[in-house]
């Protein structure tokens, strides 16, 4: 990528008047194969690195300062594989064999430079200051208190509009800054960056933070105050202590049989200072022979080495996408009694009897079988059919969601193969419609309030003054669900719903912290795989090629006057749209008045048939674009061939 990474404004365009100069024209029939070969050999990222990982199944160490070692300095694992299973583990074999594992490393700094080298992208990087509507509503992370807190704690960083705040950063950021050219302001500046927050699923949340997200203290927000109950028959931990978030005079605090058999006198605590918990934490590498009891912090995250990390209100954001999917799966599994997903059964009924709640729902044993009395949320066969038929009949606009009809099995009364976005659409719009008339009114209202809550948090614009009201409503909703649903419904993901509003207050709207774009991009990268024996290499080559194409496209749009794409598909003159066709549309130029051969104002239909990225012996390079064009689209005109070269 360094061969096309323009870091200054010294761009020269040959044939600027679009004159068919013999010195600059090319014969596409003779040189197309050569151009394609140049593309394949030069379209790489000169900054990418391949690191051999010191790896075995127990430990994973890939520290850059040890990249030249032949074995791990910690566990002694060999860098290389043995060539044959019968080879002895001598130094010659382990040094010369293929590596056990390869880490592909893409530095972030060159990519930031390319963003600022594009005038349009550089302008968008200033939007949070120059174009944002500042009316007190939450539209962007720049409206959040955490953004303003960083500006207050570090004014030298906050006053610089172009400084970058990452959702999650990788290694390679220079804390002293890097000189970058801003194509929009036409000036060089020193770029610095910081990690604003991290976005990951709940299991990765524990890996990044060092907090144990399993067991009786699984909530990383409540920590020691997490209220959990072990269901000995279901053999799972549930989290049902939401009444302590209610006002001290609320009537639900005094009820016993409807909840966990106890009254609630605790109050909501203040957020713990996480840095004080991990500041003196002693981490021992390797596995222990026995588990430590009551230890919720397993390690001190490397992020604590960042000077500003302890000043952030929210460091690791909850994954609302997977929280919503888990709640949706649990809700549908409970209502439809889907085997393997249901939250109701004989074991949880026994646990309810042991807890002293809703004893009338306990299992009734007869001479031949065990009978489970119907709960208030139990649906009959007809009601399940009605629910599924309603979902099966719903029609939505194009590109709104997946075809829900394909996910519904009316005969089996279940939903199959739901993705995260399917659950999002069901929770926010379809479930409140499908449950009308098939459940008691109090349960319908409670489920509808839960769906309205998820609909609200996905709003593009949020009024901060309404968040306290929504926090009270969602706590009451969770408490009412405990009165109607079985205890096994309330796993840690349902408990995390009570903390979503707090993160919105600190970090802004949820849609800017989705996992959706990352999940989709992961699936996009998997499409690059052509050699299943070299998965990582295929993804790296595809990613690098896509990065080159996107950079060239955006760069040319900003540099060439009247550059635009019209329509879709191949429009090359005389092209059959074969394997080597590189056209993506009709490119139209209004030819300048200085042309000697072609009249001023003439319009040509142009198809791109080749893009060559070339490098010079002295480190220079550029892009060569070969096109074929036909004047006015008429068949009488001859085919025109040009080649333009951009040199950096």
Q: Which of 205-209, 550-554, 628-632 has the lowest mean pLDDT?
A: 628-632
Each residue's pLDDT tens digit, 472-531: 999 999 999 999 999 999 999 999 999 999 999 988 889 888 888 888 888 888 888 888
Q: Which residues contact 118 (CB under 8 A, 6 or more apart)?
A: 183, 551, 554, 555, 558
Question: Band of the pLDDT at 646, cuts 50, 70, 90?
Answer: very low
Percentage of residues in the chain having pLDDT higher than 90: 16
Which pair of structure tokens corresponds to residue 448? 């509808």
Say whether pLDDT at 37 is over 50.
yes
Structure tokens at 521: 């991009």
Q: What are phi and psi of 559, to 5 degrees?
A: -95, -35
Q: Tokens 């699923």 correspond to what residue? A: 201
pLDDT at 307 over 70: yes
Least confident of 35-39, 257-261, 292-296, 445-449: 35-39
**Beta-ladder partners of 50:** 104
162 DSSP assignment: T
pLDDT at 21 over 60: no
Name the average pLDDT for the chain: 74
Q: Examine the pLDDT at 160 and tell me if it is beyond 70.
A: yes
* pLDDT band of 292, cuts 50, 70, 90: low
The span from the CA of 565 to the CA of 584, in Å, is 8
Report the C-alpha gap between 608 and 585 in whole angstroms.
8
* Mean per-residue pLDDT, 18-43: 50
Tens of pLDDT, residue by residue over 313-336, are 888 889 899 999 999 999 999 999
Alpha carbons 368 and 360: distance in angstroms, whole number: 20
Label residue 625 by pLDDT band (50, 70, 90): low
| Per-domain residue ranges of the chain | 12-45+544-647, 49-105, 202-285+293-379+439-513
Q: Give residue 429's pLDDT.
A: 92
Taking the CA of residue 380 as centre, how many other CA atoms within 13 Å lie in the half-sphere pointing to its CB?
6
The residue-averaged pLDDT of 14-22 equals 36
Provide φ and ψ at 623, rounded to 5°: -125, 135
Decide: helix, strand or coil at residue 414: strand
pLDDT over 70, % of the chain: 69
Specify whether the CB–CB gap between 228 and 238 falls below 8 A: yes
SS3 320: helix
Higher pLDDT, 125 or 456: 456
Cβ neighbour number for residue 189 with a 10 Å cutoff: 17
Q: Name the pTM for this structure.
A: 0.70
> What pLDDT, on the 0 to 100 scale, is given for residue 110?
80
| Lowest-pLDDT choice from 167-176, 367-376, 542-551, 596-605 | 596-605
H or E element at residue 608: strand 604-615
pLDDT digits (tens, 9 = 90+) for 545-599: 787 777 777 777 766 655 444 333 333 333 433 333 333 333 333 333 333 334 4
What pLDDT, on a 0 to 100 scale, did the predictor assign at position 35?
A: 57
Give the three-class secondary structure for 190.
strand
With 90 as the cut, is the pLDDT of residue 264 above it? no
pLDDT beyond 50 at 165: yes
Judge whether 162 and 192 are in contact, CB under 8 Å. no
Q: Are 515 and 201 in contact (CB under 8 A)?
A: yes
Residue 286 confidence (pLDDT): 62
Task: Say if residue 173 is exposed, middle or buried (CB neighbours under 10 Å; 0-12, 13-18, 19+).
Answer: buried
């Amino acid at each position: 990528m360094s061969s096309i990474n323009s870091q200054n404004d010294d761009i020269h365009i040959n044939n600027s008047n679009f004159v068919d100069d013999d010195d600059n024209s090319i014969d596409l029939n003779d040189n197309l194969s050569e151009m394609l070969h140049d593309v394949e050999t030069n379209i790489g990222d000169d900054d990418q690195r391949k690191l051999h990982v010191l790896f075995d199944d127990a430990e994973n160490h890939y520290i850059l300062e040890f990249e030249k070692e032949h074995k791990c300095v910690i566990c002694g694992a060999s860098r290389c594989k043995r060539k044959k299973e019968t080879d002895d583990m001598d130094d010659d074999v382990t040094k010369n064999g293929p590596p056990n594992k390869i880490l592909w490393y893409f530095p972030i700094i060159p990519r930031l430079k390319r963003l600022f080298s594009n005038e349009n992208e550089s302008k968008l990087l200033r939007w949070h200051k120059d174009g944002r509507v500042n009316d007190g509503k939450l539209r962007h992370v720049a409206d959040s208190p955490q953004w303003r807190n960083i500006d207050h704690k570090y004014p030298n960083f906050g006053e610089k509009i172009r400084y970058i705040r990452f959702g999650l950063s990788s290694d390679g950021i220079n804390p002293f800054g890097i000189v970058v050219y801003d194509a929009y302001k036409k000036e060089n500046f020193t770029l610095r960056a910081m990690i604003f927050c991290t976005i990951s699923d709940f299991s990765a949340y524990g890996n990044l933070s060092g907090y144990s997200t399993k067991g009786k203290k699984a909530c990383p927000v409540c920590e020691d105050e997490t209220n959990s109950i072990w269901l000995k028959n279901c053999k799972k931990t549930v989290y049902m202590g939401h009444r302590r978030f209610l006002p001290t005079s609320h009537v639900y605090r005094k009820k016993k049989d409807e909840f966990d058999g106890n009254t609630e006198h605790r109050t909501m605590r203040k957020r713990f200072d996480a840095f004080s918990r991990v500041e003196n934490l002693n981490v021992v590498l390797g596995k222990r022979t026995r588990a430590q009891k009551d230890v919720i912090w397993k390690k001190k995250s490397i992020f604590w080495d960042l000077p500003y990390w302890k000043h952030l209100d929210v460091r690791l954001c909850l994954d609302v996408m997977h929280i919503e999917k888990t709640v949706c799966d649990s809700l549908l599994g409970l209502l439809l009694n889907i085997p393997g997903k249901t939250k109701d059964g004989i074991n949880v009924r026994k646990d309810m009897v042991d807890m002293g709640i809703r004893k009338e729902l306990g299992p009734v044993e007869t001479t031949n079988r065990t009978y489970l009395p119907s709960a208030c949320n139990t649906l009959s066969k007809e009601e399940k059919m009605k629910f599924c038929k309603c979902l099966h009949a719903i029609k939505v606009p194009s590109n709104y969601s997946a075809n829900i009809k394909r996910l519904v099995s009316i005969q089996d009364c279940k939903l199959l193969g739901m993705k995260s976005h399917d659950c999002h659409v069901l929770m926010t719009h379809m479930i409140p419609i499908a449950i009308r008339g098939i459940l008691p009114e109090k349960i319908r209202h409670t489920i509808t309030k839960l769906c309205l809550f998820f609909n609200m948090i996905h709003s593009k614009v949020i009024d901060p003054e309404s968040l306290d009201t929504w926090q009270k409503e969602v706590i009451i909703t969770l408490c009412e669900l405990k009165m109607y649903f079985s205890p096994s419904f309330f796993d840690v993901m349902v408990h995390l719903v009570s903390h979503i509003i707090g993160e919105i207050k600190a970090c802004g709207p949820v849609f800017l912290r989705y996992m959706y774009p990352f999940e989709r991009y992961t699936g996009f990268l998997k499409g690059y795989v052509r050699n299943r024996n070299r998965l990582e290499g295929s993804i790296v080559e595809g990613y690098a090629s896509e990065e080159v194409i996107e950079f060239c496209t955006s760069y040319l749009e900003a540099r060439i006057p009247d550059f635009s794409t019209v329509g879709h598909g191949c429009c090359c003159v005389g092209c059959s749209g074969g394997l080597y066709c590189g056209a993506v549309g009709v490119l139209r130029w209004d030819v300048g008045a200085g042309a000697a051969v072609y009249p001023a104002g003439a319009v040509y239909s142009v198809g791109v048939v080749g893009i060559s990225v070339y490098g010079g012996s002295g480190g220079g390079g550029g892009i060569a674009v070969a096109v074929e064009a036909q004047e006015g689209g008429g068949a009488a005109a001859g085919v025109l061939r040009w080649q333009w070269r951009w040199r950096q």
